[in-house]
Amino acid sequence: MLFVFALLIAGTFVAISSVLGRPKRTTTDLEPYECGLDQTIEPRRPLNIKFFIIAIIFLLFDVEVALLYPWAALFRSFVAEGMGKFILIEGLTFIGILAVGLVYVLRSKALDWQK
């Protein structure tokens, strides 16, 4: 019964807004929105590739760090089961791979914007 009442109220509000709130379309409404500014350049201009490189590097490291959370959360339970050394070596290997990747990114100057 409450669901039907909620649908009735929502339908009433939609009907009232469609009857009373007819917007007037102008030429400004039909233009593409570009952060509140007038469009001054061609809209299909290619984006700088550095944005994509930084986005991919961020995603890689973000996913890898997200994979460390379950490892850290379950570490104590693995220590209690006697598997602490193995899990620690496994986690440190993973962190080492992250460190090697970070060193590679820094040495290749992928984050250097002025390159």
Identify the CATH number of the domain in which residue 22 sits.
1.20.58.1610
pLDDT of residue 115: 61
Kindly list the averaged pLDDT for each block of 10 residues, start to end, along the chain of length 115. Answer: 94 90 72 64 71 86 87 88 89 91 88 75
pLDDT of residue 81: 87
| Within a domain: 70 | yes
d(CA 102, CA 98): 6
| Within a domain: 112 | no
| Within a domain: 83 | yes
| Within a domain: 56 | yes
| Within a domain: 20 | yes
CA-based nearest residue to 34, from 26, 22, 44, 19: 44
What tokens does 74 get? Answer: 């379950």
pLDDT of residue 65: 84
pLDDT of residue 57: 87
Per the structure, the count of domains in the chain is: 1
| Within a domain: 17 | yes
Backbone angles phi, psi at 25, to 5 degrees: -80, 130
What tokens does 65 get? Answer: 């760090």
Plot region of 47 (φ>0 → left; ψ -120 to 50 → alpha; else → beta)? beta
pLDDT of residue 42: 66
| Within a domain: 115 | no
In sequence order, the 6+-apart residues with CB closer than 8 A to the CB of 67 are: 94
pLDDT of residue 36: 59
Q: Which domain holds residue 66?
A: 2-107
pLDDT of residue 41: 65
| Within a domain: 113 | no
pLDDT of residue 112: 82
